[in-house]
Structure 1
Amino acid sequence: MKDPRSASLMAMKDWAHRSGISPSQLSRIEDALTATEVQGAPYQKPVILCRGLEARPWHDSSQFGWVRGIEQRFAEIKAELLSQYERIETHPEASSLALRGQWNSFYFFHMGQRFDQNHAACPDTVRALSEVPGIETAGMAYFSVMAPGTQVKPHCGFTNTRIRCHLGLVVPPDCAMRVGGETRGWEEGKCSIFDDSFEHEVRNDSDRYRAVLLFDTWHPGLSEIERQALTFLMSAWRAFLA
């Protein structure tokens, strides 16, 4: 697998120069792109690790102001999931991460790429997501559906510059996710927030499918300039992950 760091660093430096941004404002991002050792906290090992960001596997949802609005639209979001269920396709990482079962997805955003047809089909979901900082560029947003008996193996996300949320939509018993050293379940209509740069794995041991609205937001410890730089870098990273 090719390393995205060198090309990303050169592109970012050129972008910063053209934008009149001081290199000192991007020192953490530059360090992340040049680091040879990416081990963070225990269980945390993304490809791109930005130092100095609070590192914890699970986050308190009450600390994110947009959570209330997302949860209040639970009924509308679930209805749109059900209306599009037949259009949900195999998750692009299912072949590499699913140990067994079927893992499907219905994308709204993928690292800066917008899925216009899915936006048009789910206006209430898109309206709810629009309140989340960085929803278009921080990472991904999609319906994640796991069939009965599905297991996603332990893995770490690409970078710690984002925080991930799951809104429980269809949650049968006997399904859970481990992030770091702690395992939790989901609750329908409630947001679970975690840092996917920590090792995590998911299991659905029930006899029904499990569905969540998965989406990313910027890590709150980033500066506005760092968010702008990362937004620029998303297209390069998307090409690397393709």
Structure 2
Amino acid sequence: MFYESSKYPFTAQILAKYDQIKEEMERTLALPLQQLDQNTWAGERPNYLTSSFDAKLAWKTYVFKYFGINHRPNQEACPVFSKLLEEFPFIATAEFSMLEPNTHILPHKGFTGKVLRSHLGMVVPEGDLGIRVGNETRKWKEKEWLVFDDSIEHEAWNKTAQRRIVLMIDFDPDLSAQKVNKVCKEVLMKTNDKHMMDIASREDWLNWFDKGEFPRDL
């Protein structure tokens, strides 16, 4: 269910900049919640969660790229990671993913089996937390990658008293920019995901994909 990150050289290249990326991440933590076209974190899929925290904010992401669509304000605020991201055009999605204390992301499946998902531990508290993919469970570790197929049923939980944050990246397993662009467009054409449809219509998503970035006036 999990893959060796060493098979994918870009993971080592990102790891080499880990301390600088973490410094950039730490600067984002005090940002106020704003509209999605601003430099901000955004609440993710409350219907996927159980939490003692506000469900709309228990799982938050700081998006750099989402299915091939660049989030320029967040990229501009984190230039070290964003420069790296430009070097890897086979990446479909990249974001910091924050799970608040006592939060459980319920079992679900991702959009496609044509990309792999990777998590790099940025803030990993001690205690009961982890991720199950299929019948295999792992725990995150700071400065280490977990790579898996998120089209397989998976769930994640943080039952500690502190936040858990990972850098999450979806990428083409053959490291092909051409293939990943095709997959991104395919996902955007087919999705009926409620969270995405609440943000914009499928037509808008496809227009943003064609332009390569989100508008600054969402």
State the TM-score, normalizing by the size of structure 1.
0.68
1:227 deviates by 4.2
* Closer, same or farther: CA 160–144 of 1 in aligned 2, 3 Å: same
Residues 66-215 of structure 1 correspond to what in structure 2 (within 5 A)?
Answer: 66-87=10-31, 88-93=40-45, 95-100=46-51, 101=53, 102-135=58-91, 138=92, 140-174=93-127, 175-215=129-169
- Corresponding residue for residue 5 of structure 2: 61
Amino acid at match of 2:44: P
1:164 aligned counterpart, secondary structure: strand
1:132 deviates by 3.3
* Closer, same or farther: CA 227–171 of 1 in aligned 2, 3 Å: closer
Aligned length: 181
1:237 deviates by 4.2
- Corresponding residue for residue 33 of structure 1: none
Amino acid at match of 2:117: R
Residues 29-68 of structure 1 correspond to what in structure 2 (within 5 A)?
Answer: 57-68=1-12
- Corresponding residue for residue 236 of structure 1: 189
| Percent of paired sites with the same residue | 31
1:71 deviates by 0.9
Q: Which runs of 5+ in 2 are unaligned?
A: 32-39, 198-218
1:117 aligned counterpart, secondary structure: helix
Q: Which runs of 5+ in 1 are unaligned?
A: 1-56
* Closer, same or farther: CA 147–195 of 1 in aligned 2, 3 Å: same
After superposition, give the CA deviation of every residue in 1:122-180 in whole Å (9 maximum; x if it has no partner).
Answer: 01111233343422xx3x21110111111100100010011011111001112211111
Distance 2:178 2:64 in 1: 25
* Closer, same or farther: CA 141–113 of 1 in aligned 2, 3 Å: same
* Closer, same or farther: CA 207–110 of 1 in aligned 2, 3 Å: same
Distance 1:119 1:183 in 2: 32
1:86 aligned counterpart, secondary structure: coil
1:142 aligned counterpart, secondary structure: strand
State the TM-score, normalizing by the size of structure 2.
0.75
Distance 1:209 1:224 in 2: 33
